[in-house]
Structure 1
Amino acid sequence: MISPTVSPDFSNLLSTIDAKNLLHRLNELQSQKTNPTEHSINLEEDASLKKLSLQWQYLANNYLIHSAKEIIEPIKVCEFIQNSLTDLNLQNELSFEGIERALTDWLIDLFNHLFISKQVILVRSTGEPEYFPAQSNQPARIEFAHGFFASALHEISHFCMAGERRRQLPDFGYWYAPDGRSAAQQQAFERVEVKPQAIECLFTLACGRPFQVSQDNLFADFDTSGSTFAQDVYQQVQTYITKPDTLPSDAKTLLQALLTICAIS
Protein backbone atom coordinates (compact mmCIF):
# COMPACT_ATOMS: atom_id res chain seq x y z
CA MET A 1 0.00 0.00 0.00
CA ILE A 2 1.21 3.51 -0.87
CA SER A 3 1.64 5.87 2.07
CA PRO A 4 -0.78 8.84 2.08
CA THR A 5 2.25 11.13 2.29
CA VAL A 6 3.69 9.75 -0.96
CA SER A 7 2.19 10.98 -4.21
CA PRO A 8 1.66 7.97 -6.51
CA ASP A 9 3.28 8.02 -9.94
CA PHE A 10 0.41 7.55 -12.37
CA SER A 11 2.76 7.56 -15.36
CA ASN A 12 3.94 4.02 -14.59
CA LEU A 13 0.46 2.51 -14.62
CA LEU A 14 0.12 1.93 -18.36
CA SER A 15 3.31 0.74 -20.01
CA THR A 16 3.35 -0.09 -23.72
CA ILE A 17 2.88 -3.76 -22.90
CA ASP A 18 0.10 -3.00 -20.42
CA ALA A 19 -1.66 -0.84 -23.02
CA LYS A 20 -1.46 -3.61 -25.63
CA ASN A 21 -2.78 -6.19 -23.17
CA LEU A 22 -5.58 -3.88 -22.08
CA LEU A 23 -6.56 -3.18 -25.70
CA HIS A 24 -6.52 -6.91 -26.45
CA ARG A 25 -8.88 -7.54 -23.54
CA LEU A 26 -11.17 -4.68 -24.59
CA ASN A 27 -11.27 -6.08 -28.13
CA GLU A 28 -12.30 -9.44 -26.70
CA LEU A 29 -15.03 -7.80 -24.64
CA GLN A 30 -16.28 -5.94 -27.71
CA SER A 31 -16.52 -9.17 -29.68
CA GLN A 32 -18.86 -10.47 -26.98
CA LYS A 33 -21.25 -7.51 -27.25
CA THR A 34 -24.81 -8.22 -28.31
CA ASN A 35 -26.14 -4.64 -28.30
CA PRO A 36 -26.26 -3.41 -31.94
CA THR A 37 -26.41 0.27 -30.85
CA GLU A 38 -22.94 0.13 -29.26
CA HIS A 39 -20.19 1.43 -31.53
CA SER A 40 -17.73 -1.08 -32.95
CA ILE A 41 -14.10 0.09 -33.08
CA ASN A 42 -12.69 -0.89 -36.47
CA LEU A 43 -10.42 1.49 -38.37
CA GLU A 44 -10.61 -0.53 -41.57
CA GLU A 45 -14.41 -0.50 -41.72
CA ASP A 46 -15.09 2.96 -40.27
CA ALA A 47 -13.91 5.76 -42.57
CA SER A 48 -14.54 8.43 -39.93
CA LEU A 49 -12.36 6.64 -37.39
CA LYS A 50 -9.67 6.16 -40.02
CA LYS A 51 -9.64 9.91 -40.70
CA LEU A 52 -9.56 10.67 -36.97
CA SER A 53 -6.61 8.31 -36.65
CA LEU A 54 -4.66 10.18 -39.32
CA GLN A 55 -5.50 13.50 -37.69
CA TRP A 56 -4.27 12.20 -34.34
CA GLN A 57 -0.94 11.05 -35.78
CA TYR A 58 -0.26 14.48 -37.19
CA LEU A 59 -1.38 16.40 -34.10
CA ALA A 60 0.31 14.12 -31.57
CA ASN A 61 3.66 14.30 -33.36
CA ASN A 62 3.51 18.09 -33.54
CA TYR A 63 2.42 18.24 -29.90
CA LEU A 64 5.48 16.25 -28.84
CA ILE A 65 7.78 18.46 -30.89
CA HIS A 66 6.41 21.63 -29.30
CA SER A 67 6.41 20.04 -25.83
CA ALA A 68 10.08 19.10 -26.13
CA LYS A 69 10.87 22.52 -27.61
CA GLU A 70 13.19 20.86 -30.09
CA ILE A 71 14.14 22.25 -33.47
CA ILE A 72 13.08 19.50 -35.78
CA GLU A 73 12.37 19.61 -39.48
CA PRO A 74 8.62 20.24 -39.91
CA ILE A 75 6.68 17.04 -40.40
CA LYS A 76 6.00 16.32 -44.06
CA VAL A 77 2.38 15.39 -44.62
CA CYS A 78 1.47 13.11 -47.50
CA GLU A 79 -1.49 14.06 -49.69
CA PHE A 80 -3.72 11.37 -48.18
CA ILE A 81 -3.19 12.68 -44.64
CA GLN A 82 -3.42 16.27 -45.88
CA ASN A 83 -6.95 15.61 -47.13
CA SER A 84 -7.87 14.15 -43.74
CA LEU A 85 -6.74 17.35 -42.00
CA THR A 86 -9.05 19.65 -43.93
CA ASP A 87 -11.89 19.50 -41.39
CA LEU A 88 -9.62 20.80 -38.63
CA ASN A 89 -7.85 23.38 -40.82
CA LEU A 90 -4.45 21.89 -40.05
CA GLN A 91 -2.62 22.41 -43.34
CA ASN A 92 -0.49 25.21 -41.90
CA GLU A 93 2.05 24.91 -39.09
CA LEU A 94 0.41 25.55 -35.72
CA SER A 95 1.58 27.07 -32.48
CA PHE A 96 1.52 24.97 -29.32
CA GLU A 97 -1.76 26.64 -28.33
CA GLY A 98 -3.15 25.97 -31.80
CA ILE A 99 -2.24 22.30 -31.60
CA GLU A 100 -3.81 22.01 -28.14
CA ARG A 101 -7.03 23.55 -29.45
CA ALA A 102 -6.98 21.25 -32.48
CA LEU A 103 -6.47 18.22 -30.21
CA THR A 104 -9.52 19.28 -28.23
CA ASP A 105 -11.51 19.66 -31.46
CA TRP A 106 -10.31 16.18 -32.39
CA LEU A 107 -11.53 14.76 -29.06
CA ILE A 108 -14.92 16.41 -29.57
CA ASP A 109 -15.21 14.85 -33.04
CA LEU A 110 -14.18 11.42 -31.75
CA PHE A 111 -16.64 11.46 -28.85
CA ASN A 112 -19.53 12.73 -30.96
CA HIS A 113 -18.83 10.06 -33.58
CA LEU A 114 -18.61 7.19 -31.11
CA PHE A 115 -21.71 8.15 -29.14
CA ILE A 116 -24.01 9.46 -31.86
CA SER A 117 -26.55 6.77 -30.97
CA LYS A 118 -26.58 7.95 -27.33
CA GLN A 119 -28.10 11.33 -28.24
CA VAL A 120 -25.32 13.24 -26.51
CA ILE A 121 -22.71 15.72 -27.73
CA LEU A 122 -19.49 17.05 -26.25
CA VAL A 123 -19.36 20.85 -26.32
CA ARG A 124 -16.59 23.37 -25.61
CA SER A 125 -17.70 25.85 -22.92
CA THR A 126 -16.28 29.29 -22.19
CA GLY A 127 -17.25 28.89 -18.54
CA GLU A 128 -17.57 26.16 -15.96
CA PRO A 129 -18.42 22.53 -16.83
CA GLU A 130 -22.03 21.45 -16.82
CA TYR A 131 -24.19 18.59 -18.10
CA PHE A 132 -27.56 19.27 -19.69
CA PRO A 133 -29.89 16.29 -20.26
CA ALA A 134 -31.62 15.76 -23.60
CA GLN A 135 -34.81 17.73 -24.16
CA SER A 136 -37.39 17.32 -26.92
CA ASN A 137 -35.37 16.75 -30.09
CA GLN A 138 -32.17 18.23 -28.65
CA PRO A 139 -29.35 15.87 -27.59
CA ALA A 140 -27.82 15.98 -24.13
CA ARG A 141 -24.79 18.26 -23.84
CA ILE A 142 -21.57 17.69 -21.94
CA GLU A 143 -20.01 21.14 -21.62
CA PHE A 144 -16.41 21.12 -20.41
CA ALA A 145 -14.54 24.01 -18.80
CA HIS A 146 -12.89 26.73 -20.86
CA GLY A 147 -12.18 24.44 -23.80
CA PHE A 148 -9.51 22.46 -21.93
CA PHE A 149 -8.62 18.95 -23.16
CA ALA A 150 -8.21 17.66 -19.59
CA SER A 151 -11.58 19.07 -18.56
CA ALA A 152 -13.21 17.32 -21.51
CA LEU A 153 -11.82 13.96 -20.39
CA HIS A 154 -12.95 14.63 -16.82
CA GLU A 155 -16.53 15.44 -17.82
CA ILE A 156 -16.65 12.49 -20.21
CA SER A 157 -15.61 10.26 -17.31
CA HIS A 158 -18.56 11.47 -15.25
CA PHE A 159 -20.86 10.77 -18.21
CA CYS A 160 -19.49 7.24 -18.46
CA MET A 161 -20.09 6.64 -14.75
CA ALA A 162 -23.67 7.95 -14.82
CA GLY A 163 -26.45 5.45 -15.44
CA GLU A 164 -29.54 6.12 -17.54
CA ARG A 165 -31.45 7.69 -14.64
CA ARG A 166 -28.72 10.17 -13.73
CA ARG A 167 -28.22 11.08 -17.39
CA GLN A 168 -31.74 12.49 -17.31
CA LEU A 169 -30.79 14.94 -14.53
CA PRO A 170 -28.92 18.26 -14.80
CA ASP A 171 -25.26 17.68 -13.86
CA PHE A 172 -26.17 14.00 -13.38
CA GLY A 173 -27.92 14.91 -10.13
CA TYR A 174 -24.63 15.61 -8.35
CA TRP A 175 -24.40 18.12 -5.53
CA TYR A 176 -21.44 20.42 -5.74
CA ALA A 177 -19.92 22.54 -3.00
CA PRO A 178 -17.34 25.02 -4.34
CA ASP A 179 -13.72 25.15 -3.25
CA GLY A 180 -13.49 26.10 0.41
CA ARG A 181 -15.76 23.26 1.49
CA SER A 182 -15.68 21.72 4.96
CA ALA A 183 -13.71 18.59 5.85
CA ALA A 184 -16.91 16.51 5.74
CA GLN A 185 -17.85 17.94 2.36
CA GLN A 186 -14.34 17.25 1.07
CA GLN A 187 -14.54 13.62 2.17
CA ALA A 188 -17.89 13.24 0.42
CA PHE A 189 -16.44 14.85 -2.71
CA GLU A 190 -13.48 12.48 -2.75
CA ARG A 191 -15.69 9.40 -2.28
CA VAL A 192 -17.71 10.11 -5.43
CA GLU A 193 -14.66 11.19 -7.45
CA VAL A 194 -12.50 8.06 -7.14
CA LYS A 195 -13.99 6.07 -10.02
CA PRO A 196 -14.55 9.00 -12.41
CA GLN A 197 -10.97 10.18 -11.92
CA ALA A 198 -9.67 6.63 -12.35
CA ILE A 199 -11.47 6.47 -15.70
CA GLU A 200 -10.17 9.93 -16.58
CA CYS A 201 -6.67 8.70 -15.74
CA LEU A 202 -6.98 5.79 -18.18
CA PHE A 203 -8.26 8.09 -20.93
CA THR A 204 -5.42 10.52 -20.26
CA LEU A 205 -2.68 7.88 -20.26
CA ALA A 206 -4.13 6.33 -23.42
CA CYS A 207 -3.64 9.74 -25.07
CA GLY A 208 -0.02 9.78 -23.92
CA ARG A 209 -0.57 12.71 -21.58
CA PRO A 210 0.35 13.07 -17.89
CA PHE A 211 -2.38 12.70 -15.29
CA GLN A 212 -2.74 14.07 -11.80
CA VAL A 213 -5.70 13.86 -9.46
CA SER A 214 -7.80 16.88 -8.62
CA GLN A 215 -9.01 17.30 -5.05
CA ASP A 216 -10.45 20.70 -6.00
CA ASN A 217 -9.62 22.17 -2.59
CA LEU A 218 -7.03 24.91 -3.08
CA PHE A 219 -8.62 27.00 -0.33
CA ALA A 220 -9.14 24.26 2.25
CA ASP A 221 -8.73 25.53 5.82
CA PHE A 222 -8.15 22.07 7.30
CA ASP A 223 -5.31 19.54 7.21
CA THR A 224 -5.50 17.42 4.04
CA SER A 225 -2.22 15.56 4.52
CA GLY A 226 -4.02 12.42 5.70
CA SER A 227 -6.17 12.13 2.59
CA THR A 228 -5.79 8.84 0.71
CA PHE A 229 -7.63 10.16 -2.35
CA ALA A 230 -4.68 9.96 -4.77
CA GLN A 231 -3.85 6.45 -3.56
CA ASP A 232 -7.50 5.39 -3.87
CA VAL A 233 -7.63 6.64 -7.46
CA TYR A 234 -4.34 4.89 -8.24
CA GLN A 235 -5.61 1.57 -6.87
CA GLN A 236 -8.89 1.93 -8.77
CA VAL A 237 -6.96 2.47 -12.00
CA GLN A 238 -5.00 -0.71 -11.29
CA THR A 239 -8.27 -2.58 -10.78
CA TYR A 240 -9.68 -1.33 -14.07
CA ILE A 241 -6.50 -2.35 -15.91
CA THR A 242 -6.54 -5.88 -14.50
CA LYS A 243 -10.34 -6.19 -14.68
CA PRO A 244 -11.48 -4.05 -17.65
CA ASP A 245 -14.84 -5.82 -17.63
CA THR A 246 -15.64 -3.75 -14.51
CA LEU A 247 -15.41 -0.51 -16.51
CA PRO A 248 -18.71 1.15 -17.47
CA SER A 249 -19.75 0.23 -21.02
CA ASP A 250 -19.20 3.69 -22.53
CA ALA A 251 -15.81 3.97 -20.82
CA LYS A 252 -14.80 0.70 -22.50
CA THR A 253 -15.85 2.09 -25.89
CA LEU A 254 -13.88 5.34 -25.63
CA LEU A 255 -10.84 3.71 -24.01
CA GLN A 256 -10.74 1.07 -26.73
CA ALA A 257 -10.89 3.79 -29.39
CA LEU A 258 -8.15 5.86 -27.73
CA LEU A 259 -5.84 2.87 -27.30
CA THR A 260 -6.48 1.79 -30.90
CA ILE A 261 -5.91 5.22 -32.44
CA CYS A 262 -3.31 6.75 -30.17
CA ALA A 263 -1.08 3.67 -30.05
CA ILE A 264 -0.31 4.18 -33.74
CA SER A 265 1.63 7.39 -33.08
Structure 2
Amino acid sequence: MISPTVSPDFSNLLSTIDAKNLLHRLNELQSQKTNPTEHSINLEEDASLKKLSLQWQYLANNYLIHSAKEIIEPIKVCEFIQNSLTDLNLQNELSFESIERALTDWLIDLFNHLFISKQVILVRSTGEPEYFPAQSNQPARIEFAHGFFASALHEISHFCMAGERRRQLPDFGYWYAPDGRSAAQQQAFERVEVKPQAIECLFTLACGRPFQVSQDNLFADFDTSGSTFAQDVYQQVQTYITKPDTLPSDAKTLLQALLTICAVS
Protein backbone atom coordinates (compact mmCIF):
# COMPACT_ATOMS: atom_id res chain seq x y z
CA MET A 1 0.00 0.00 0.00
CA ILE A 2 1.33 3.43 -0.94
CA SER A 3 1.33 5.92 1.91
CA PRO A 4 1.26 9.64 1.08
CA THR A 5 4.15 11.72 2.34
CA VAL A 6 3.07 14.50 4.69
CA SER A 7 4.44 17.79 3.44
CA PRO A 8 5.66 20.47 5.85
CA ASP A 9 3.97 23.86 5.82
CA PHE A 10 6.03 26.00 3.45
CA SER A 11 3.77 29.02 3.93
CA ASN A 12 5.39 29.91 7.26
CA LEU A 13 8.90 30.19 5.82
CA LEU A 14 8.76 33.75 4.51
CA SER A 15 6.81 36.18 6.67
CA THR A 16 6.74 39.87 5.80
CA ILE A 17 9.58 40.50 8.24
CA ASP A 18 11.54 37.55 6.86
CA ALA A 19 11.05 38.86 3.32
CA LYS A 20 12.31 42.31 4.30
CA ASN A 21 15.34 40.85 6.07
CA LEU A 22 16.13 38.58 3.14
CA LEU A 23 15.81 41.46 0.68
CA HIS A 24 18.08 43.60 2.85
CA ARG A 25 20.72 40.87 2.78
CA LEU A 26 20.36 40.42 -0.99
CA ASN A 27 20.73 44.17 -1.46
CA GLU A 28 23.93 44.04 0.55
CA LEU A 29 25.22 41.19 -1.58
CA GLN A 30 24.36 43.13 -4.74
CA SER A 31 26.32 46.14 -3.52
CA GLN A 32 29.37 43.89 -3.31
CA LYS A 33 29.10 42.71 -6.93
CA THR A 34 31.95 43.52 -9.26
CA ASN A 35 30.52 41.93 -12.43
CA PRO A 36 29.12 44.72 -14.64
CA THR A 37 26.99 42.26 -16.67
CA GLU A 38 24.84 41.35 -13.67
CA HIS A 39 21.59 43.28 -13.48
CA SER A 40 21.18 45.85 -10.73
CA ILE A 41 17.74 45.94 -9.08
CA ASN A 42 16.70 49.58 -8.68
CA LEU A 43 13.14 50.66 -9.39
CA GLU A 44 14.03 54.35 -9.37
CA GLU A 45 16.79 54.01 -11.96
CA ASP A 46 15.28 51.28 -14.15
CA ALA A 47 12.15 52.47 -15.97
CA SER A 48 11.33 48.96 -17.19
CA LEU A 49 11.40 47.56 -13.66
CA LYS A 50 9.26 50.45 -12.45
CA LYS A 51 6.70 49.67 -15.13
CA LEU A 52 6.76 45.98 -14.22
CA SER A 53 6.23 46.92 -10.58
CA LEU A 54 3.10 48.92 -11.42
CA GLN A 55 1.79 46.06 -13.55
CA TRP A 56 2.35 43.59 -10.73
CA GLN A 57 0.49 45.73 -8.19
CA TYR A 58 -2.56 45.87 -10.42
CA LEU A 59 -2.54 42.22 -11.46
CA ALA A 60 -1.74 40.80 -8.03
CA ASN A 61 -4.55 42.74 -6.36
CA ASN A 62 -7.08 41.53 -8.92
CA TYR A 63 -5.68 38.00 -8.63
CA LEU A 64 -6.32 38.04 -4.88
CA ILE A 65 -9.85 39.30 -5.43
CA HIS A 66 -10.64 36.44 -7.81
CA SER A 67 -8.87 33.89 -5.62
CA ALA A 68 -11.04 34.92 -2.69
CA LYS A 69 -14.12 34.66 -4.94
CA GLU A 70 -15.33 38.02 -3.66
CA ILE A 71 -17.78 40.03 -5.74
CA ILE A 72 -15.73 43.16 -6.07
CA GLU A 73 -15.29 45.44 -9.03
CA PRO A 74 -11.84 45.20 -10.65
CA ILE A 75 -9.48 47.69 -9.06
CA LYS A 76 -9.58 51.09 -10.71
CA VAL A 77 -6.25 52.62 -11.64
CA CYS A 78 -5.11 56.10 -12.42
CA GLU A 79 -4.09 57.03 -15.96
CA PHE A 80 -0.38 56.77 -15.12
CA ILE A 81 -0.73 53.14 -14.02
CA GLN A 82 -3.16 52.39 -16.85
CA ASN A 83 -0.50 53.39 -19.36
CA SER A 84 1.81 50.76 -17.88
CA LEU A 85 -0.79 48.05 -18.50
CA THR A 86 -1.09 48.47 -22.26
CA ASP A 87 1.42 45.70 -22.99
CA LEU A 88 -0.56 43.10 -21.05
CA ASN A 89 -3.46 42.75 -23.52
CA LEU A 90 -6.02 42.46 -20.74
CA GLN A 91 -9.69 42.12 -21.54
CA ASN A 92 -12.10 44.80 -20.39
CA GLU A 93 -13.78 42.33 -18.04
CA LEU A 94 -11.07 40.63 -16.05
CA SER A 95 -11.43 36.90 -15.49
CA PHE A 96 -9.25 34.72 -13.31
CA GLU A 97 -7.87 33.07 -16.45
CA SER A 98 -6.99 36.37 -18.12
CA ILE A 99 -5.26 37.62 -14.97
CA GLU A 100 -3.31 34.38 -14.62
CA ARG A 101 -2.20 34.59 -18.23
CA ALA A 102 -1.23 38.24 -17.79
CA LEU A 103 0.78 37.37 -14.66
CA THR A 104 2.63 34.73 -16.65
CA ASP A 105 3.31 37.26 -19.41
CA TRP A 106 4.55 39.59 -16.69
CA LEU A 107 6.96 36.95 -15.38
CA ILE A 108 8.27 36.35 -18.90
CA ASP A 109 8.88 40.08 -19.35
CA LEU A 110 10.62 40.35 -15.98
CA PHE A 111 12.91 37.38 -16.60
CA ASN A 112 13.81 38.46 -20.12
CA HIS A 113 14.57 41.98 -18.90
CA LEU A 114 16.75 40.85 -16.01
CA PHE A 115 18.74 38.31 -18.00
CA ILE A 116 19.06 40.01 -21.38
CA SER A 117 22.86 39.92 -21.03
CA LYS A 118 22.76 36.14 -20.45
CA GLN A 119 21.50 35.43 -23.98
CA VAL A 120 18.51 33.46 -22.71
CA ILE A 121 14.76 33.96 -22.98
CA LEU A 122 11.78 32.50 -21.15
CA VAL A 123 9.15 31.13 -23.53
CA ARG A 124 5.60 29.87 -23.03
CA SER A 125 5.21 26.33 -24.39
CA THR A 126 2.02 24.52 -25.37
CA GLY A 127 3.65 21.21 -24.48
CA GLU A 128 6.15 19.85 -22.00
CA PRO A 129 9.03 21.91 -20.57
CA GLU A 130 12.38 21.86 -22.32
CA TYR A 131 15.61 23.85 -22.36
CA PHE A 132 17.35 24.64 -25.64
CA PRO A 133 20.90 26.03 -25.49
CA ALA A 134 21.94 29.06 -27.52
CA GLN A 135 22.85 28.39 -31.15
CA SER A 136 24.44 30.73 -33.68
CA ASN A 137 22.81 34.11 -33.08
CA GLN A 138 19.78 32.65 -31.30
CA PRO A 139 19.51 32.93 -27.50
CA ALA A 140 18.94 29.93 -25.27
CA ARG A 141 15.27 29.17 -24.60
CA ILE A 142 13.62 28.05 -21.38
CA GLU A 143 10.27 26.63 -22.46
CA PHE A 144 7.88 25.99 -19.57
CA ALA A 145 4.92 23.62 -19.59
CA HIS A 146 1.55 24.64 -21.01
CA GLY A 147 2.01 28.31 -20.15
CA PHE A 148 1.69 27.71 -16.39
CA PHE A 149 3.13 30.31 -13.99
CA ALA A 150 4.31 27.60 -11.57
CA SER A 151 6.03 25.68 -14.35
CA ALA A 152 7.87 28.84 -15.39
CA LEU A 153 9.26 29.27 -11.87
CA HIS A 154 10.27 25.60 -11.76
CA GLU A 155 12.15 25.74 -15.06
CA ILE A 156 13.80 29.04 -14.12
CA SER A 157 15.02 27.39 -10.92
CA HIS A 158 16.73 24.66 -12.92
CA PHE A 159 18.33 27.31 -15.12
CA CYS A 160 19.63 29.09 -12.02
CA MET A 161 21.14 25.86 -10.69
CA ALA A 162 22.83 24.93 -13.97
CA GLY A 163 26.41 26.05 -14.45
CA GLU A 164 27.86 27.35 -17.71
CA ARG A 165 28.69 23.86 -18.97
CA ARG A 166 25.19 22.49 -18.42
CA ARG A 167 23.64 25.57 -20.01
CA GLN A 168 25.32 24.55 -23.26
CA LEU A 169 23.48 21.19 -23.26
CA PRO A 170 19.85 20.41 -24.20
CA ASP A 171 17.78 20.14 -21.02
CA PHE A 172 20.99 20.94 -19.10
CA GLY A 173 22.29 17.45 -19.89
CA TYR A 174 19.76 15.71 -17.65
CA TRP A 175 18.11 12.43 -18.57
CA TYR A 176 14.49 12.46 -17.48
CA ALA A 177 12.74 9.28 -16.35
CA PRO A 178 8.96 9.76 -16.65
CA ASP A 179 6.42 9.09 -13.92
CA GLY A 180 6.25 5.39 -13.10
CA ARG A 181 9.97 5.20 -12.34
CA SER A 182 11.50 2.65 -9.98
CA ALA A 183 12.30 3.31 -6.33
CA ALA A 184 15.99 3.78 -7.19
CA GLN A 185 15.14 6.18 -10.01
CA GLN A 186 12.82 8.10 -7.69
CA GLN A 187 15.56 8.48 -5.09
CA ALA A 188 17.94 9.80 -7.76
CA PHE A 189 15.24 12.21 -8.97
CA GLU A 190 14.66 13.56 -5.47
CA ARG A 191 18.38 14.03 -4.80
CA VAL A 192 18.83 16.37 -7.77
CA GLU A 193 15.52 18.18 -7.20
CA VAL A 194 16.08 19.41 -3.62
CA LYS A 195 17.95 22.62 -4.43
CA PRO A 196 15.98 23.58 -7.57
CA GLN A 197 12.70 23.13 -5.74
CA ALA A 198 14.00 25.08 -2.75
CA ILE A 199 14.82 27.96 -5.10
CA GLU A 200 11.42 27.56 -6.77
CA CYS A 201 9.83 27.72 -3.32
CA LEU A 202 11.51 31.05 -2.57
CA PHE A 203 10.42 32.47 -5.93
CA THR A 204 6.87 31.24 -5.32
CA LEU A 205 6.60 32.62 -1.79
CA ALA A 206 8.06 35.95 -2.94
CA CYS A 207 5.17 36.13 -5.42
CA GLY A 208 2.70 35.51 -2.59
CA ARG A 209 1.69 32.09 -3.88
CA PRO A 210 1.46 28.75 -2.07
CA PHE A 211 4.18 26.22 -2.75
CA GLN A 212 4.04 22.44 -2.85
CA VAL A 213 6.89 20.09 -3.62
CA SER A 214 6.61 17.96 -6.72
CA GLN A 215 7.80 14.39 -6.42
CA ASP A 216 6.41 13.66 -9.88
CA ASN A 217 5.46 10.10 -8.94
CA LEU A 218 1.68 9.82 -9.16
CA PHE A 219 1.97 6.29 -10.52
CA ALA A 220 4.61 4.97 -8.12
CA ASP A 221 4.09 1.29 -7.34
CA PHE A 222 6.27 1.32 -4.23
CA ASP A 223 5.87 2.70 -0.71
CA THR A 224 6.78 6.40 -0.67
CA SER A 225 6.05 6.98 3.01
CA GLY A 226 9.73 6.89 3.91
CA SER A 227 10.66 9.73 1.58
CA THR A 228 12.13 12.79 3.28
CA PHE A 229 12.04 14.85 0.09
CA ALA A 230 9.58 17.50 1.30
CA GLN A 231 11.49 17.90 4.56
CA ASP A 232 14.79 18.12 2.66
CA VAL A 233 13.42 20.88 0.43
CA TYR A 234 12.03 22.70 3.49
CA GLN A 235 15.41 22.59 5.23
CA GLN A 236 17.19 23.77 2.09
CA VAL A 237 14.83 26.75 1.85
CA GLN A 238 15.65 27.60 5.47
CA THR A 239 19.35 27.42 4.64
CA TYR A 240 18.96 29.75 1.68
CA ILE A 241 17.00 32.23 3.81
CA THR A 242 19.61 32.30 6.56
CA LYS A 243 22.55 32.10 4.13
CA PRO A 244 21.42 33.82 0.90
CA ASP A 245 25.03 34.07 -0.23
CA THR A 246 24.81 30.31 -0.94
CA LEU A 247 22.14 30.90 -3.60
CA PRO A 248 23.27 30.71 -7.24
CA SER A 249 23.99 34.15 -8.66
CA ASP A 250 21.04 34.26 -11.06
CA ALA A 251 18.70 33.03 -8.33
CA LYS A 252 19.82 35.95 -6.17
CA THR A 253 19.04 38.37 -9.00
CA LEU A 254 15.52 37.12 -9.67
CA LEU A 255 14.68 36.64 -6.00
CA GLN A 256 15.84 40.17 -5.23
CA ALA A 257 13.61 41.51 -8.01
CA LEU A 258 10.59 39.46 -6.91
CA LEU A 259 10.97 40.50 -3.28
CA THR A 260 11.42 44.15 -4.26
CA ILE A 261 8.40 44.22 -6.56
CA CYS A 262 6.03 41.61 -5.16
CA ALA A 263 6.69 41.22 -1.45
CA VAL A 264 8.14 44.40 0.00
CA SER A 265 7.21 47.34 -2.25
TM-score when normalising by structure 1: 0.97
CA 1:33–1:65: 2 relative to 1, 3 Å: same
Return the offset for 1:186: 0.2
Task: Give, in whole Å, the separation in 1 of the partners of 2:185 and 2:103.
Answer: 34
Asked whether the equivalents of residues 91 and 98 of structure 2 are also in contact (C-alpha less than 8 Å), the reply is: no
Q: In structure 2, how many angstroms separate the alpha carbons of the residues matched to 1:205 and 1:234?
A: 12
Instruction: Name the CA distance, whole Å, in 1 between partners of 2:134 and 2:238.
Output: 34
Are 1:73 and 2:73 matched, yes or no?
yes
CA contact (8 A) 2:3 2:225 kept: no
3-state SS in 2 of match to 1:70 = coil
Distance 1:71 1:60 in 2: 16
Comparing 2-11 and 202-211, the one that deviates more: 2-11
* C-alpha separation in 1, matches of 2:35 and 2:161: 19
**What do the CA deviations read for 1:22-80 (whole angstroms, capped 9, x no partner)?**
00000000000000000000000000000000000000000000000011233111000
Q: Indicate how the Cα distance of structure 1 residues 212 and 2 shifts in structure 2: closer, same or farther if over 3 A, else same.
A: farther
Contact 1:201 1:211 in 2 (8 A): yes
Q: Is the 1:204–1:211 contact (alpha carbons within 8 Å) kept by the matching residues of 2? A: yes
Contact 2:5/2:224 (8 A) holds in 1: no
C-alpha distance in 2 between matches for 1:182 and 1:91 = 46
Which residue does 2:160 correspond to in 1? Answer: 160
- Does structure 2 conserve the Cα–Cα contact (< 8 Å) formed by 1:2 and 1:231? no
State the SS of the aligned residue for 1:263: helix
In the other structure, the counterpart of 1:214 is: 214
Cα separation, 2, equivalents of 1:264 and 1:85: 21
CA contact (8 A) 1:4 1:227 kept: no
Residue 246 of structure 1: how far off its partner (Å): 0.1
How much does 1:6 deviate? Answer: 3.9
Distance in 1 separating the partners of 2:180 and 2:90: 42
Report the Cα offset of residue 4 of structure 1: 9.8
Distance 2:155 2:50 in 1: 25
Deviates more, 1:128-137 or 1:89-98: 89-98
Go from structure 1 to structure 2 and tell me whether the alpha carbon gap of 1:128 and 1:238 turns closer, same or farther (over 3 Å shift): same
Secondary structure of 2:128's partner? Answer: coil
Deviations 1:196-239 (A, max 9, x none): 00000000000000000000000000000000000000000000
Q: How many residues align?
A: 265
Compare 216-225 and 73-82 and name the one that shifted more. Answer: 73-82
Gaps of 5+ in 2: none
Name structure 1 gaps, 5 residues minimum. Answer: none
CA distance in 2, matches of 1:123, 1:15: 31
The answer on whether the counterparts of 2:128 and 2:146 sit within 8 Å (CA) in structure 1 is yes
- How far the C-alpha of 1:90 sits from its partner, in A, is 3.0
Whole-Å Cα distance in 2 between the matches of residues 64 and 72 of structure 1?
Answer: 11
Instruction: Find the residue that maps to 2:264 and give its secondary structure.
Output: coil
> Aligned partners of 1:66 and 1:205: how far apart in 2?
19
Match of 1:27 in 2: 27
Question: What does the per-residue CA deviation read over 1:69-113, in whole Å, with 9 as the maximum and x for residues that have no partner?
Answer: 011233111000000000112372310000000000000000000
Q: Percent identity?
A: 99
Match of residue 146 from structure 2 = 146
CA distance in 1, matches of 2:199, 2:135: 27
- Checking the alignment, whether the CA contact within 8 Å between 1:85 and 1:91 is kept in structure 2 is no
Q: 2:125 touches 2:145 (CA, 8 Å); kept in 1? A: yes
Matches within 5 A, 1:131-142: 131-142=131-142
Task: Say if 2:20 and 2:264, in contact at 8 Å, map to a contact too.
Answer: no
Conserved? CA contact 2:121–2:139, under 8 Å: yes
CA drift of 1:175 comes to 1.1
- In 2, the alpha carbon distance for the partners of 1:176 and 1:89 equals 36
Q: Secondary structure at the match of 1:216?
A: coil
Structure 1's 169 and 25: CA in aligned 2 closer, same or farther, altered over 3 A? same
- Give the drift of 1:261: 0.2
Between the aligned partners of 1:215 and 1:98, the Cα distance in structure 2 is: 29
CA contact (8 A) 2:129 2:155 kept: yes
Verify the 8 A CA contact 2:74 2:94 in the aligned structure 1.
no
Moved more, 51-60 or 89-98: 89-98
Show CA shifts across 1:95-137 (max 9, x none).
Answer: 0000000000000000000000000000000000000000000
